[in-house]
Structures are given as structure tokens and as C-alpha cells.
Amino acid sequence: MEPFRVILLPGSVLPAGLAYRALIQALGPEVQAVAKDLELYKTDEPPADWTLDTEVDGVQREADERGWQTFHLVGYSGGGAVALAFAAKHPDRLQSLALLEPAWAGNWDWSAAYTRHWKQYQELEALPPEQFMPAFMRLQVRPDVVLPPQAPGPPPPWMAKRPAGIREFLRSFKEYDLDRARLAAFDRPVFFALGGLSHPDDYGEIAARLARVFFPDFHLEVFPHRHHFDPPHRIEPDRLAEGLRRHWASVEAGTPAA
């Protein structure tokens, strides 16, 4: 059997190599895994015309350069939102989709709880940088979760780009037209990893809506002790790798994942 061809998209904070190092090691040599950095951070400042489509085009270029007509796509957080946009625009390129708590999944008729929660993200835009990141992180986990303290010493150089990049994601989420009909027509298998300690009005709501409304072949895997900032791909890579390999193998075999 040929190796699985996989593109891994990171969230809006960690670079792809750091985010997926443990998972790529756990996946092993039978997986051709490419950790692709976001187009958003290729320059010192976010491009003036950046949208989710900029990232969609970047994924397509990456696959084309490797000669991959079809491949498996994995996206975490902001990268998960990109993965959904890619599935809507280029469903024929994907063998499967894996979503690791996508940060956004369209501007539709969400529940009242989700809508209230999302308004709090919009309110972050008025905060100064030193308050922005802690507030941004707090919104994504259950209220009783203790978030890890900031690492001692100066932040890494790439961190300076992140507040502006996160704001660009939030802006694009407000403006982007994720084609509901095309997404609903996506018939490839979808895997969703959900942390049990992530905020239920955020990622829990997204998982439930995608399973109920959009994807007929949807597999949800819950990691009870994980949340958005200690995600499975970094903290439980072996278990996640096992689930992903099972997911991809089911695609190759043409049978539902167990």
C-alpha cells in the first residue's frame, strides 16, 4: 500500500513544525506528512488582501508542487477553518478531512449560546496586545480550566506576528462566505478531535453542528483531559495518530471507520 499523503495545517499561534512534530513522529514512515505553515506569516505584516482563500490557494499550491492530485487534509484551530474552506472549494482534491477543533465553521444559524460566545471574540479587537492573548485563550476553554503560565524568558521571534495574525483570522471569519451548499455536498469521511476541557459553547457546538447538518460520514473522537491549548496532536500524539491512521485506512478500504 502506498503511504498516506497528508497536509497538516496549524493554528494561528505555533508554527507548523513545532505544532506537529510529535504527531508526525507518531504517524511513522507509512505517512507522508507535510506540516505546512500559514501564508499569513510569510511576511512581517499580514498581507493587505489576506483571507481564508489565501490559505486555500496555498494548500493547493503545496499539493500541486508535490504532484499530489488527491490527499488527506488535517487542520487545527485557524487551520481547521482553512480546511473547511478548502473542502467547500476543492472537494475533488480531498480523500478525507480531519478537523482538530476548527476555530470557525461558517456564519449561519448557530445556537444562542454559540452566538453569545462568538460576540466575546469580537470584543477582543478593542484590547491592547498584553490583554488580547490571555483573553483570547480564556474564551476557548471551560471556565474552571487553569491555563499554563507563559514560558519564562523572552518570547520567540515568531510570536511578534501572532496578535496581528489572530486579528486577521477574526476579521476574515466575519466576512468570509463559506459556501453552505458546497460544504453540505462534501461526501468524504470527516474526523473530528474534540477536547473535553475545551469550551462547549465553542468547539462542542461546532462538532455537533457539523455532524448533524453537514457531513454524513462523521467520526467524533473525544479526548476527555485535553483542551485547545494542550491539544491531542501535541500531548496525546500516539492516540491521535492511531485514530487518524484508522480514519485514512477506512478511506482506502472504502469502509466506515470503527
Residue 137 domain-assigned? yes
Domain of 88 in residue numbering reads as 4-253
Q: Cα dihedral angle (16, 20, 135, 55), rounded to 10 degrees? A: 40
Q: Tell me, what's the pLDDT at 129?
A: 78
C-alpha grid cell, residue 130? 498584553
Distance between CA 153 and CA 133 in Å, rounded?
17
Q: Cα dihedral angle (242, 19, 169, 55), rounded to 10 degrees? A: -80
User: Are the C-beta atoms of 232 and 193 separated by less than 8 Å?
Assistant: yes
Residue 34 domain-assigned? yes
Q: Tell me, what's the pLDDT at 79?
A: 98
Task: Write down the pTM of the prediction.
Answer: 0.95
DSSP string, the chain: -PPEEEEEE--SSS-HHHHHHHHHHHH-TTEEEEEPPPGGGSSSS--TT--HHHHHHHHHHHHHHTT-SSEEEEEEEHHHHHHHHHHHH-GGGEEEEEEEEES---SS---HHHHHHHHHHHHGGGS-HHHHHHHHHHTTB-TT--PPPPPSSSPPGGGGGHHHHHHHHHHHHHH----HHHHHT--S-EEEEEETTB-IIIIIHHHHHIIIII-SSEEEEEETT--TTS-HHHHSHHHHHHHHHHHHHHHHHTS---
Q: Tell me, what's the pLDDT at 254?
A: 72
DSSP collapsed to 3 states, 16-66: HHHHHHHHHHHHCCCEEEEECCCHHHCCCCCCCCCCHHHHHHHHHHHHHHC
Q: Tell me, what's the pLDDT at 150?
A: 78
The two most distant CA atoms of the chain are separated, in Å, by: 52
Residue 258 domain-assigned? no
Q: How many structural domains are present in the chain?
A: 1
Q: Tell me, what's the pLDDT at 256?
A: 58
- CATH label of the domain that carries residue 118: 3.40.50.1820
Q: Tell me, what's the pLDDT at 255?
A: 63
Distance between CA 66 and CA 217 in Å, rounded?
28
Amino acid present at 5: R
Residue stretches of the chain with pLDDT short of 70? 1, 255-258
Over residues 33-46, the pLDDT tens digits come to: 999 999 999 999 99
Q: Tell me, what's the pLDDT at 244?
A: 97
